[in-house]
Structure 1
């Protein structure tokens, strides 16, 4: 190889690697230059400033002199991802075009028209109308097909979700004109919707399960979750509540402060709720209950493998103080606290600033790092049998801690329930599976809700719950509807009686959800829910499973 060819090869190699090298440097500089510093010695601060200046200059050189065209934004995104991948799994960068949506997820509402929809065969179909939203107020119904928006025909055209969101969402007080096709109506129906704040409450349902047992479902910990919870608690107390079920299943967390306030309603004054440890004193603190509880009766907390973060703070505090019986399956295991930091271009950095610990000293965070498939943890639990059998949880290597009453609890990866309830593995057969996963069940529920809309609205949810059991032909009607929608008539099955019972219950849930939203969904679903049944059993018998009284070995 000649000297010239050698130099040429080196130039090609340099050219190939330079964008990545520069990108990592740029990304590092973007993060450093945003002044996101934990308290450090003066020498570290000087080093931060020095490196920020260096990378800013490097970025300018690349932009001005680099031989090829480079997409600086794309390169920066890749560089930032490359840097953050070596940190914990919950420190993430959110680009500017996604930041507002990410931030709004924990708001108590959004500006829009308030419908849930699906685009199917180039037709926009309303799946549900959000309670309290503008579409509900003017009479839009689930099942309506939106044909035109502001005079533009959208039916029969290739449309996607983002296109529809842009068409329908907008600032409060602005209007959008739509025409819809409704079943049994020959003409299109015209509506003018004035956009407004669409409430998205985090307490999805609260009601009395029986004469003495109240139920509160919390779906997330958002800006007003405590207010919603506290109001629900007071209402249920006025209804005669003596026992309380708090449902945190599938609750991925949210604001730490909201979780702390909820626990404060339930623990005696001066009990430790949670403590956090971060870098320096800024993010290291202890949270105690500030006053006597607003409810001091028995509590059951329902959790599963998707209950995380703030859900685990509530659950861990109540379990450590022996204030509640925890029912369900091992929680997710997220014991890291993030702070959301807005960067100059409106992008976000969700930066882990501390670890939290339950009152007994447990860290709930499950392992992460090199060689650990963090994102596959739940599927691994499924394959190992943990979701079906409590004995499959490997506690032998987990650190042990003591509750106030000296019971064993474990740290190092989620909260293990006191009373285990396995994942439902009831086989409904291929026919049910097909109807569920092609949305035929939901479509039929919408059809039924529209056909009986006036009667359902006039008589209310409780009447529907009782009267629906008298529906004798609903399974036959469902089968006819399925054939109409292209699903072959099902073959006889030895388990048809059980399948039909379960099918009817599922339809009942979906119809209630279509008309009454989340409240209808939970009120009907909980009638046959094994975790809810276990909670009622615990309240009735006053006991938990035997292993919750085990003593920590000395």
Structure 2
């Protein structure tokens, strides 16, 4: 065994060679046949690979070596060139496409069965009669019970080809016998617009969680609906939005910018520049626009914010954005896996690159930039934001903006310590609010029957008893002895919002969470001040 170990460096060296060889097989659909050609270097690598395969003394797991190799090569390029293994590619593709084929339920593997949180409204399960609180016991004769239920195995039984049927056996509280429910699989949207509603009589609100293929259509539907309700102003919430398709961000920015305004431009390694301009189709060119950002708003989110800021349109509110100015293209590797390779940089209309530096290497320090910002105080005070005079740019109306590390907001709003709390964030990440609320609902869902979403949002109050029960629940699950006296208000708000999500939809969750949100409050104040300014201007 010791003799085998000393050959590990040799194997890793060979693995790198394999990675270079794989690079020669990348499938650029829009490239010429001459992009990757056979040459002596690749022939040499082929011979080495064959030599290892046929002659090496031990069995070598080529697949695992290739995976390690590809990651190793990409780690030496930039922070955003990534490898997507075969096992993850379908999930990633569905997420970016914006839908998948299934039966349309939100569920927990709860205790020893699949517990339905709620069926997707209008989806296959909803139409078939599945209800929140149902337990799915069997699918096509296969048991879906037991303490070792895994999400991937559950999904493999519930997903299938569009139009096919799955026969479910369902246990429903109050029913003596299992219910036989036949569900026809269909396309289930993975929504990227979390919420769209009116903040005031004329100020609409839309929150986008990522930029997928379906995002522009979702956004446009939401915008049209809000305009029909009287929205002449819009708060576009891109906080915690990591980005996605550049083209979708360009479409959304086009809705706000006048014809022929530059939205963004890109440059590849050869210096070729491609400009993207606004077209005639914008439906919100006259309206006031507020873009909400934070330190987790990245990539396509920054394209929209940069396009508006550099064209002196709207107001950017919040904190400095992430700082990702690189564009990736996805390429299949031929075995079911893929790589997303950085192929160009994007620039805002004034010529800014907002990409953070990775000169010190593509390492954990780059991805832990949040903690650096927290330590240097910039999440609480705009004066702590570091800028470089060499990256100073000026908009057409004379506003000074900076490149080199994210979009700096026009109006800074510090982190809210009452909500951005480590304990609260940990409880959310662990799913404690969701599981607790599900158990609360499971005791007696009937008490919420007939309660409209509007009435729940405006009138329902979370009692102190519920908070105490949640406290006991967390301490039991975590083996701790914490109290929530200091966090009482945010705990109540999160419990109420989670109840609303499980009873109604994500829109209800966001509407409740946005009450007392200090960034939303800043937008409301700016909107009122702008109205007063316009009235005075008219009077003068």
1:86 Cα deviation from its structure 2 partner:
1.0
Q: Is the 8 A contact 2:133 2:172 kept in 1?
A: yes
2:352 is matched with which residue: 354, 362, 377?
362
Aligned runs of 1:12-31 on 2, under 5 Å?
A: 15-31=7-23
Tell me the CA shift for residue 128 of structure 1: 4.2
Aligned to 1:549: none
C-alpha separation between the residues in 1 aligned to 2:449 and 2:338? Answer: 44
Aligned position for 1:141: 131
Call closer, same or farther: CA 1:144–1:77 in 2, change over 3 Å.
same
Matching residue within 391, 397, 401 for 1:405 = 397
Match of 2:416 in 1: 424
Provide closer, same or farther for how the CA distance between residues 440 and 310 of structure 1 changes in structure 2, counting only shifts above 3 A.
closer
- CA distance in 2: counterparts of 1:36 and 1:443, whole angstroms: 45
- Following the alignment from structure 1 to structure 2, what is the Cα–Cα distance between the partners of residues 434 and 15? 43
Question: How far apart are 1:391 and its partner, in Å?
Answer: 2.1
Note the 1:61-76 alignment, pairs <5 A. Answer: 61-76=51-66
Aligned partner of 1:479 in structure 2 is 468
What residue number does 2:529 align with?
Answer: 541
Q: CA 1:100/1:442 → structure 2, altered by over 3 Å: closer, same or farther?
A: closer
Question: 2:199 matched to which residue of 1?
Answer: 209
Whichever of the two has the greater Rg, that structure is 1
Which residue, out of 290, 299, 312, partners 2:279?
290
Q: Give yes or no for contact 1:115–1:129 (8 Å, CA) kept in 2.
A: yes
CA spacing shift, 1:143–1:304, aligned 2, 3 Å? farther
Is 1:349 the counterpart of 2:339? The answer is yes
- Which string of whole-angstrom CA distances, capped at 9 and with x for unpartnered residues, describes residues 145-164 of structure 1? 33333333333342222222
Between 1:359-368 and 1:451-460, the stretch displaced more is 451-460
SS of the residue corresponding to residue 434 of structure 2 reads helix
Instruction: State whether structure 2 residue 373 is matched by structure 1 residue 377.
Output: no
Give the conservation status (yes or no) of the 8 Å contact 2:234–2:288: yes
2: distance between equivalents of 1:351 and 1:152?
41
Q: Deviations over 1:382-403 (max 9, x none)?
A: 2333222222211256721112
- In structure 2, relative to structure 1, the CA distance for the partners of 1:182 and 1:475 (3 Å cut) is farther
Residue of structure 2 aligned with 1:529, choices 477, 501, 517: 517
Partner of 2:304: 314
Is 1:511 equivalent to 2:503 in the alignment?
no
CA distance in 1, matches of 2:352, 2:89: 33
Structure 2 equivalent of residue 550 of structure 1: none
Root-mean-square deviation (Å) = 3.4
Between 1:177-186 and 1:402-411, the stretch displaced more is 177-186
> C-alpha deviations, 1:291-326, integer Å up to 9, x for none?
263111111011111111111000111111121111
- 1:333 corresponds to which of 323, 339, 343: 323
Alpha-carbon offset, residue 12 of structure 1: 8.0
Distance 1:137 1:306, change over 3 A: farther
Q: Distance in 2 between matches of 1:24 and 1:429?
A: 43
Q: Which residue of 1 aligns with 2:236?
A: 246
What pairs up with 1:73-84 in 2 under 5 angstroms? 73-84=63-74
In structure 2, do the counterparts of structure 1 residues 524 and 477 end up closer, same or farther at CA, with 3 Å as the change threshold?
A: closer
Q: CA deviation at 1:71?
A: 1.1
SS at match of 1:59: helix
Structure-1-length-normalised TM-score: 0.85
**Counterparts of 1:17 and 1:187 in 2: how far apart (Å)?**
62
Q: Any stretches of 5+ residues in structure 2 without a counterpart?
A: 533-540
Aligned to 1:50: 40
CA contact (8 A) 2:198 2:204 kept: yes
Deviations 1:83-138 (A, max 9, x none): 22110111112222322222222112101122333334444333443334322333
1:193-222 CA distance string (max 9 Å, x none): 222111112222212111010111111111
1:324 aligned to 2:314? yes
TM-score with structure 2 setting the length: 0.87
For residues 17 and 472 of structure 2, the distance between their equivalents in structure 1, rounded to whole angstroms, comes to 60
Q: Partner of 1:461 in structure 2?
A: 453
The equivalent residue for 2:290 is: 300
Q: Which moved more, 1:256-265 or 1:430-439?
A: 430-439
Cα gap change, 1:369 to 1:142, in 2 (>3 Å): farther
State the secondary structure of the residue aligned to 1:326. strand
Residue 150 of structure 2 aligns with which residue?
160
Q: Output one character per residue of 1:466-523: Cα deviation in whole Å (capped at 9) or x when no partner.
A: 2314x6xx332453476578749x9998x95x75443332222111111222111112
Which shifted more, 416-425 or 302-311?
A: 416-425
CA distance in 2, matches of 1:398, 1:171: 55
Aligned residues: 527
Output the CA distance in 2 between the equivalents of 1:441 and 1:16.
46
8 A contact 1:38–1:279 mirrored in 2: no
Q: Would you say 1:104 and 2:94 are equivalent positions?
A: yes
CA distance in 2, matches of 1:329, 1:69: 53
